């Protein structure tokens, strides 16, 4: 992430007011955070919404937000949240437990791309009174607080705005009503989204800023030029790795390359095992052996990161409990890949090609697209032709890379 020359630094002598301009590379696909995990949409929407619990910089600590306190019972199957009674939606309506029930039962669970995966065991959200919400699950949920402390999966939306109408194409998806520190002001497609200070925000003294403007600048060079001139104050995504060293030398620009443990990301690929070729385990193993992760790290990420062998990062305290240190690792071995492909019955043709598969990637993801170009060269060495397809993200989800579906992972973290 980069901070430009007009960065405001708040300390113990905090001064309220001011305007922050943030660069993002895409238009939001929705400003309803309960329906999407799209990074660039959440970058904007999260300023306007709230969670039941929020995350401390200590990844093991959860703090109150819309919920003042909570208890676990029934061996981790029941979570009882005691809600604040002083929270107003941006339109002045009071926030209640009915909003929590509606959000999870009617929106997140059925409509969010990860809803059934994360909350499929949710039986019901009980609302014994306006300020108590009781989540009942069919199985123990050790990661429930972790999921709902992330805006990607736990943002609460207003029942009174959406109830009885089509949620997927509701006007409020681009004119949102939240309870967060900022209120929606305007959205000009291809230009910007502007949010302004919520004077009725329930956390005293916050927010400090008067407004935030999210400027939509797809071209990374244009965004960095705007950062240097002060037209943009902050960029968090779409910064090419090869320019980091140059940016660090520019007076007035602060480059932060630290990796807080709760924000470590992974570049990964999903495979659809129902497709031809990919439904053979020997082919999937061959793809693993044909992938030189170190080359990907050095050429696509300029050495900034580390090779990963699982989507679960053992260095992330919030995920370490799920990491398996004994998981098999595939080292780069193109000869082994060739052997497996021969055994699977896919010989090279007159052009040296065994078969062709395709991979879809977000058109704006610089690192993923560079990695895919390298991956195409690597797999070509064993006779696999990789066809790359660039697409803009569609409503309903966000995937960095997708190889015709699910079930196989490689990555860089």
Topology annotation, domain 267-412? Dipeptide-binding Protein; domain 3 (3.10.105)
Nearest CA among 42, 9, 15 for reference residue 28: 42
Query: 201, 155, 148, 150: which is closest to 176 by C-alpha?
Result: 155
The residue with greater pLDDT, 329 or 192, is 192
Q: Check pLDDT > 80 for residue 135.
A: yes
CATH class of the structural domain 53-159: alpha beta
Which range, 89-103, 139-153, 237-251, 393-407, has the best average confidence (pLDDT)?
89-103
- What mean pLDDT value characterizes the chain? 86
The pLDDT tens digits of the residues spanning 324-338 come to 888 888 999 999 999
Q: How confident is the model at residue 392 (pLDDT cuts 50, 70, 90)?
A: low
| C-alpha to C-alpha distances, 211 to 167, 180, 193, 318, 407, nearest whole angstrom | 28, 13, 11, 32, 42
Q: Which of 81-90, 148-157, 359-368 has the lowest mean pLDDT?
A: 359-368
**In the chain, what are the domain boundaries?**
2-49+166-258, 53-159, 267-412
pLDDT (mean) for 294-307: 85
Cis amide bond preceding 207, omega within 30: yes
User: Residues 270-294: what's their mean pLDDT?
Assistant: 92
Confidence of residue 265 (pLDDT cuts 50, 70, 90): low
Percent of the chain with pLDDT over 70: 86
Instruction: Write out pLDDT tens, residues 49-87.
Output: 999 999 887 667 899 999 999 999 999 999 999 999 999
The fold adopted by the segment(s) 2-49+166-258 is D-Maltodextrin-Binding Protein; domain 2 (3.40.190)
Query: What is the mean predicted confidence (pLDDT) over 223-245?
Result: 86
- Cα 106 to Cα 102: distance, rounded to the nearest angstrom: 5
């Amino acid at each position: 992430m980069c901070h430009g020359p007009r960065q405001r630094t708040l300390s113990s002598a905090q001064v309220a007011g001011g305007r922050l301009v943030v660069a993002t590379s895409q238009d939001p696909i929705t400003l309803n955070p309960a329906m999407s995990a799209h990074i660039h949409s959440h970058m904007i929407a999260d300023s306007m919404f709230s969670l039941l619990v929020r995350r401390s910089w200590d990844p093991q600590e959860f703090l109150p937000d819309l919920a003042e306190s909570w208890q676990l019972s029934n061996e981790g199957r029941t979570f009882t949240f005691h809600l604040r009674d002083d929270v107003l939606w941006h339109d002045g309506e009071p926030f209640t437990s009915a909003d929590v029930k509606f959000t999870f039962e009617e929106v997140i669970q059925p409509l969010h791309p990860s809803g059934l995966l994360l909350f499929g065991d949710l039986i019901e959200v009980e609302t014994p009174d306006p300020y108590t919400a009781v989540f009942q699950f069919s199985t123990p949920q050790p990661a429930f607080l972790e999921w709902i402390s992330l805006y990607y999966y736990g943002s609460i939306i207003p029942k009174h705005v959406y109830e009885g109408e089509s949620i997927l194409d509701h006007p409020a998806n681009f004119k949102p009503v939240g309870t967060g520190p900022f209120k929606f002001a305007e959205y000009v497609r291809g230009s910007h989204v502007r949010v302004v200070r919520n004077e009725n925000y329930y956390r005293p003294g916050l927010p400090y800023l008067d407004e935030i403007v999210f400027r939509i600048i797809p071209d990374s060079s244009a965004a960095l030029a705007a950062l240097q001139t002060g037209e943009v104050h902050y960029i968090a995504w779409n910064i090419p790795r090869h320019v980091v060293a140059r940016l660090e030398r520019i007076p007035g620009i602060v480059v932060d390359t630290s990796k807080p443990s709760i924000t470590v990301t992974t570049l990964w690929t999903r495979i659809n095992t129902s497709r031809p070729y990919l439904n053979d385990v020997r082919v999937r193993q061959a793809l693993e052996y044909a992938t030189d992760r170190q080359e990907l790290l050095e050429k696509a990420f300029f050495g900034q990161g580390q090779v990963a062998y699982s989507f679960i990062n053992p260095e992330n305290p919030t995920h370490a409990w799920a990491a398996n240190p004994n998981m098999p690792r595939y080292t780069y071995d193109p000869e082994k890949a060739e052997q497996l492909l021969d055994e699977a019955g896919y010989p090279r043709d007159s052009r040296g090609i065994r078969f062709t598969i395709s991979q879809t990637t977000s058109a704006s993801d610089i690192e993923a697209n560079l990695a895919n170009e390298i991956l195409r060269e690597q797999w070509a060495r064993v006779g696999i032709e990789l066809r790359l397809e660039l697409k803009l993200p569609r409503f309903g989800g966000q995937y960095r890379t997708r190889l015709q579906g699910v079930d196989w992972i490689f990555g860089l973290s």
